């Protein structure tokens, strides 16, 4: 059985958990707390698995893989059904485009190590950190909303038609973070509708931060009824 090293609030871990659930793949879950005791990701044992000292890390037999997009592409290649990417080359490129806005442009500027640097090295206040966080979310969501509005591929409840794709799996964790940092989402109606549609699905519910083994008790969700 595969092993996943994850943190319940990690965006990168969240998107991998959705992909695993979407494909019906089981794994042994290992919680890596990113703030407890200075961050468990910095321990010598974990650094031996992931030299970047980040989550997630996936172990499949003798193969160890880091980086969420690489993990998702690996799962797609090894377990192609149900798919994370459309078959049509243009649609595949469109899905990857949307995915990378979340993964490569928005998330890296707002992850924990950047926020810690703002606090510890630049003495940023909480208000300044929140403004920083909002700036990059707003910029990314504005671009994504515009792409969704003009695309012929978005004729359905998700980013690319009637089927969930990698783009949805990358988007939902970003919206989760936006809500945590109290960014009003009503200015992006398409993104908000897609996120709400996704969060009704069992794969997204099972992968949600509030439903992980390492979720603190006061953050756990009440029972939710899934669709699909």
Same structural domain, 73 and 106: no
- For residues 62 and 95, membership in a common domain is answered with no
- Is 109 among the domain residues? yes
So what's the pLDDT on residue 190? Answer: 97
Which pLDDT belongs to residue 154? Answer: 85
Name 65's bridge partners: 58
Question: Is the domain of 66 the same as that of 151?
Answer: no
CATH number of the domain that residue 171 is part of:
1.20.1050.10
Do residues 67 and 100 both lie within one domain?
no
Q: Is residue 219 part of a domain?
A: no
How many folded domains does the chain comprise? 2
Q: Is residue 211 part of a domain?
A: no
pLDDT per residue, tens digit, the chain (228 aa), is 999 999 999 999 999 999 999 999 999 999 999 999 899 999 999 999 999 999 999 999 999 999 999 999 999 999 999 999 999 999 999 999 999 999 999 999 999 999 999 999 999 999 999 999 999 999 999 999 999 999 998 889 999 999 999 999 999 999 999 999 999 999 999 999 999 999 999 999 999 999 999 999 866 654 343 444
Q: What is the 3-state secondary structure (H, E, C) of 150-192?
A: HCCCCCCCECCECCCCHHHHHHHHHHHHHHHCCCCCCCCHHHH
Tokens of 65: 């893989």
Position 212 in a domain: no
Domain harbouring 24, CATH code? 3.40.30.10
Residue 84 CA to residue 158 CA, distance in Å, equals 12
Q: Quote the pLDDT of residue 217.
A: 80
Q: Quick one: 93 and 66 in the same domain?
A: no
Q: Is there a single domain that holds both residue 54 and residue 114? A: no
For residue 54, give its domain range: 2-82
Nearest to 225 by CA among 200, 196, 193, 207: 200
Residue 225 pLDDT: 39
Whether 68 and 97 share a structural domain:
no
The pLDDT of residue 220 is 61
The answer to whether residue 27 sits within a structural domain is: yes
In a shared domain, residues 93 and 201: yes
pLDDT of the residue at 221:
56
Residue 34 lies in a domain: yes
Give the span between the Cα atoms of 212 and 70, in whole angstroms. 22
According to the model, what pLDDT value does residue 127 have?
A: 96
Is there a single domain that holds both residue 95 and residue 177?
Answer: yes
- Tell me, yes or no, whether 71 and 107 share the same domain: no
């Amino acid at each position: 059985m595969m092993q996943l090293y994850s943190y319940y609030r990690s965006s990168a871990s969240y998107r991998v958990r959705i992909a695993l659930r979407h494909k019906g793949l089981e794994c042994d879950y290992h919680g890596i707390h990113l703030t407890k005791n200075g961050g468990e990701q910095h321990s010598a044992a974990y650094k031996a698995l992931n030299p970047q000292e980040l989550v997630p890390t996936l172990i499949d037999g003798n193969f160890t893989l880091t980086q969420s997009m690489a993990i998702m592409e690996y799962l797609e290649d090894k377990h192609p059904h149900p798919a994370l990417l459309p078959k049509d080359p243009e649609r595949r490129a469109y899905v990857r485009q949307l995915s990378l806005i979340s993964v490569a442009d928005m998330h890296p500027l707002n992850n924990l190590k950047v926020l810690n640097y703002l606090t510890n090295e630049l003495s940023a206040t909480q208000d300044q950190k929140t403004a920083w966080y909002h700036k990059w979310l707003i910029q990314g969501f504005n671009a994504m909303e515009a792409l969704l509005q003009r695309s012929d591929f978005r004729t359905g409840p998700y980013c690319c038609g009637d089927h969930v794709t990698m783009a949805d799996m990358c988007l939902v964790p970003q919206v989760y973070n936006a809500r945590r940092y109290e960014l009003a989402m009503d200015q992006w109606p398409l993104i908000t509708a897609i996120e709400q549609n996704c969060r009704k699905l069992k794969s997204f519910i099972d992968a949600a931060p509030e439903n992980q083994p390492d979720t603190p008790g006061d953050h756990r969700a009440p029972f939710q009824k899934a669709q699909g």
